[in-house]
Chain A
Amino acid sequence: MRAKLSNLINGITLIGVGAVLLDFFFTGRVDQYLHPQFRPWTLVAGVIFCVVGIVYAAAKTTAQCCIDGECVHQDVNSPVRTLVAFLVLFVPLAAGVALSKDGYDQHAVLNRGFVQDITKLPSRSSSPTAGTQNNQVIPPQALGADMDERASQPLPQDTPSLPAGPDVATNGGTGQANPAVPSPDEGSAQYLPKAADGNVALEVTDLLYAESEDSLRRMFADKTIEVIGQYLPGSDGKQFKLVRMFIVCCAADARPLAVPVAVSGPMTATEMGWVKVVGKATYTQKGDRAHVVLQADKVEPTDPPAEAMLY
């Protein structure tokens, strides 16, 4: 009787674990937790857990779980083991289904610290196994010679790249040496993705990559840019950080990326709530790097993007 009960509860535990995995997969919540390459495993594992759980619960109970004399498990029918397995394996996962908000609050972001140089982050796109790419919205073609390793098609206009000029602050187009002469950046700019209202729709990562790419900075100059991210309040009301989390494998290794946003007037937003910022990107040279600040014309709450994490 004890063995049958243990079998049943262990089987329920395994089925429960499988059900949680399947629930997260089919509701799409797993997207917030894992890199796309790991997500199918939750489906596969969820199905297997359910199947083996049913087999385990229904299989004929024997005195030992394994072959006579070869069992390595300690008293598989022990009610303590069965209860602990249920409490440690199933209960936390089930609690997660109900309680998890599928995201970090500002304490986790501040504890992890912001990425200082985005170019040092690993890029899955450089991996031959890469299935998706979500870290930049700018197509490789638009990056010209700066990203020639990834570019598969030549630029439509067959113009050589301009020699990199001095890294001057690009503010409202003042960085353009001679606007009368068409530059490859102007041709490349046609590839910049546009939002419904005509603004250039960028990711936080694009603005940060531009800190080390002069051609990108020139491309963003004078454009009205629209960026979505999470609101992290600053020390005063004049600035806040627009945050996105960058993950390699799962949310446990998430690293915060942030763009400072300068606002002219008072604004209200929920901490770590999703906001859309419309404005212009300005880059100021400090040492050997440029640093971005997004001058906001408008900040408004918005829905989370389909992929909350960047990778």
Chain B
Amino acid sequence: MSWFTFTWQNFLFSFLALAFEGLPFVLVGSLISGAIAAFVPSRIITGVLPKNGLLATLASGLLGLCFPVCECGIVPVVRRLINKGLPVSCGVTFMLASPIVNPIVAFSTFAAFRGQAPWLNMSTRLVLGYFVAVVVGLTVRLFKPESILRKGAVKIPARKRLAFSISPLPDAAMNDAAMNGFEATFPQKIIAAVRMACDDFIDTAIFFMIGAAVAATFNTAVDQQVILPLALDPTLSTVSMMAIALVLTLCSTSDAFIAATFVSFPIFARMAFMVFGPMFDLKLFFLYSVVFKKRFVIGLGIGLFVLVGIICSRLLIYVYAGQAL
């Protein structure tokens, strides 16, 4: 049998399943984004974080506890928040951490690994996800926003609005006043929120569908047995699990159930799957490209792959020492 066998029947079935599962989540993210744009003043967004840039980045990694948005819906939210004055480093930290460090994912991970050290796996996943997101966020602070953000995706005023100052900027404050002041009635705000949510959805969902199509092709046409023998080596197993996460493009709220099934792979490799997957996969490559420059997105993917790979294949072995997993 060939390693690649494409049929439209299989492609359509897998593609539609991914679309039906993911589009509602993209919609939820877009609606939250639209609501933030119309109803949440910049001063609240920026005021909730510490003034200190380092502390703000650390705090951003925990925003998912209040905004439990999965990776499908996080991009429009982050784009909106950055446009509202959230520093890019905080936005990236939030974007990477939120799909993992949130109560829904914690719950699903615990449930999926029931009988397989659930507390350890759940806490390891959350701590590791938070740590990696903060490391990347702090690294992003070293770059100018203009070198990261895609041209036109986010408004970058002449003033250093997206630099590391947290205070709201005059233009944003003015816009908030226009939306939240006496000029706009509540129904007008609702309509504005809907319109913005719809445009966010269209921007995001186009890339989601492209990613789903690629994933559906890999899921159904490629012989999965080709990659399974890699499970025996710690490094190769970790790399291959991250590669599988890359192409499967699963939702973080449910990927733990998939990871738990790869029992032929060691637990640290499955952890790499659960940490890397929600932060970067084929679908997210396209979604991130809505906001960030391609060069940054590729660098982000490689950086995450290396960072998560090293941590999981080298350090987690000691965390799981003595566990029969």
Contact B221 A122 (CB under 8 A): no
- Contacting residues, chain A, for B88 (C-beta < 8 A): none
B147 at the interface (CB under 8 A from A): no
Chain B residues numbered 9-56 whose CB sits less than 8 Å from any CB in chain A:
9-10, 12-21, 23-24, 27, 31, 37
Name the CB-closest residue of B to A93: B19
**Does A286 make an interface contact (CB < 8 A)?**
no
Kindly list chain A residues whose C-beta atoms are within 8 Å of the C-beta of B152.
Answer: 74
Q: What are the interface flags for A109-127 relative to B under an 8 Å C-beta threshold, 1 for contact and 0 otherwise? A: 0111101010011101011
A-contact 0/1 string along B140-183, CB 8 Å cutoff = 00000000000011110000000000000001101100110000
A72-B155, A126-B115 are contacts. A89–B27 as well, Cβ < 8 Å?
no
Report the separation of the CA atoms of residues A172 and B263 in the bound assembly, to the nearest whole angstrom.
33
How far apart sit A10 and B205, CA to CA, in the bound complex (Å)?
13
Which listed segment binds A: B95-103, B222-230, B234-242?
Answer: B222-230
Number of residues in B with C-beta < 8 Å to the partner?
Answer: 76
Render B99-124 as a binary contact track against A, CB cut-off 8 A, 1 for contact. Answer: 00000000100011011000000000
Any B CB within 8 A of the CB of A209: no
Q: Is the CB of B209 within 8 A of A253?
A: no
A116 to B184, CA, bound (A): 61
Interface contact B111-A68, CB-CB below 8 Å: no
The answer to whether A298 has its CB under 8 Å from any CB of chain B is no
Question: Residues of A contacting B1 with CB < 8 Å?
Answer: 110
Within 8 A of B (CB), among A78-130: 81, 84-85, 88-89, 92-93, 95-96, 99-105, 107-108, 110-113, 115, 117, 120-122, 124, 126-129
Q: Given contacts A73-B199, A73-B203, A127-B114, are A253 and B250 in contact (CB under 8 A)?
A: yes
Of all chain A residues, the one with the shortest Cβ separation from B80 is A72
Find out whether the CB atom of B20 lies under 8 angstroms from the CB atom of A250: yes
Q: Which A residues lie within 8 Å of B196 (CB)?
A: 65-66
Report the bound CA distance from A292 to B201 in whole Å. Answer: 49
Question: What are the interface flags for B185-202 relative to A under an 8 Å C-beta threshold, 1 for contact and 0 otherwise?
Answer: 000000110111111111
Inter-chain contact B20/A112, CB cutoff 8 Å: no
Chain A residues packing against B (C-beta within 8 Å): 10, 13-14, 17, 21, 24, 30, 33-34, 38, 41-42, 44-45, 48-49, 52-53, 55-56, 59, 65-74, 76, 81, 84-85, 88-89, 92-93, 95-96, 99-105, 107-108, 110-113, 115, 117, 120-122, 124, 126-129, 248-253, 255
Question: Closest residue to A84 on the B side, CB-wise?
Answer: B206
> What is the bound-complex CA distance between A72 and B30, given in angstroms?
13
22 A-B interface contacts by CB (under 8 A): A33-B20, A42-B20, A48-B27, A49-B27, A56-B195, A67-B175, A67-B192, A73-B199, A85-B206, A107-B5, A108-B10, A108-B13, A110-B5, A111-B5, A111-B221, A124-B257, A127-B111, A248-B261, A249-B254, A252-B18, A253-B250, A253-B258
In Å, the complex CA distance between A121 and B262 comes to 9
Residue in A closest to B207 when the chains form the complex, CB atoms: A88
B174 closest partner in A (C-beta): A69
Point out the residues of chain A lying under 8 angstroms from B220, CB to CB: 104, 107-108, 111
Using known A-B contacts A69-B171, A76-B199, A113-B228, determine if residue A255 contacts B261 with beta carbons closer than 8 Å: yes
Q: CA separation between A96 and B175, bound complex, in Å?
A: 42
Instruction: Assess the B111–A126 pair: CB atoms within 8 A.
Output: yes
A38-B21, A72-B154, A101-B13 are known contacts; what are 18 more A-B pairs with Cβ within 8 Å? A52-B194, A67-B175, A67-B179, A70-B175, A72-B80, A72-B83, A72-B155, A88-B209, A102-B13, A104-B13, A105-B9, A107-B5, A111-B5, A111-B225, A115-B261, A122-B257, A252-B14, A255-B261
Q: How far is the CA of A59 from the CA of B115 in the complex (A)?
A: 53
- The answer to whether B13 and A100 touch across the interface, beta carbons within 8 angstroms, is yes
Q: How far is the CB of B55 from chain A (nearest CB, A)?
A: 27
Give Cα A30–Cα B19 distance, bound, in whole angstroms.
Answer: 11
A19 to B202, CA, bound (A): 16
Question: Is A251 a contact of B17 with CB atoms below 8 Å?
Answer: yes
Cβ B10 vs Cβ A113 within 8 A:
no
Interface centre among B1, B7, B16, B221 (most CB of A within 10 A): B16
Q: Contacts A101-B9, A105-B10, A122-B257: A34 and B17 contacting too (C-beta < 8 A)?
A: yes
Residues of A close to B24: CB separation below 8 A? 41-42, 44-45
When C-beta atoms are compared, the residue in chain A nearest to B30 turns out to be A52
Give the distance in Å from the alpha carbon of A96 to the alpha carbon of B212 in the complex. Answer: 14
Assembly CA distance A88 to B213 (angstroms): 10
For residue B197, which residues in chain A have a CB less than 8 angstroms away from its CB? 52
Question: Is B251's CB within 8 Å of the partner chain A?
Answer: yes
List A contacts of B7 (CB < 8 A). Answer: 105, 107-108
A253 and B205 alpha carbons, distance in the complex (Å): 21
Q: Rank and list the top 8 A-B pairs by shortest CB-CB distance, nearest first.
A: A45-B24, A251-B17, A127-B111, A250-B17, A248-B257, A108-B10, A120-B263, A41-B24
Q: A104: which B residues are within 8 A, CB to CB?
A: 9-10, 13-14, 220
Do B195 and A59 have beta carbons less than 8 Å apart?
yes
> Would B79 and A72 count as touching, CB distance under 8 A?
yes
B114 touches A253 (CB 8 A): no
Q: A residues within 8 A CB of B171?
A: 69
| B19 (CB) vs chain A CBs: closest residue | A93
| Interface assignment of B215: CB less than 8 Å from any CB of chain A | yes
CA distance A10 to B261 in the complex (A): 40
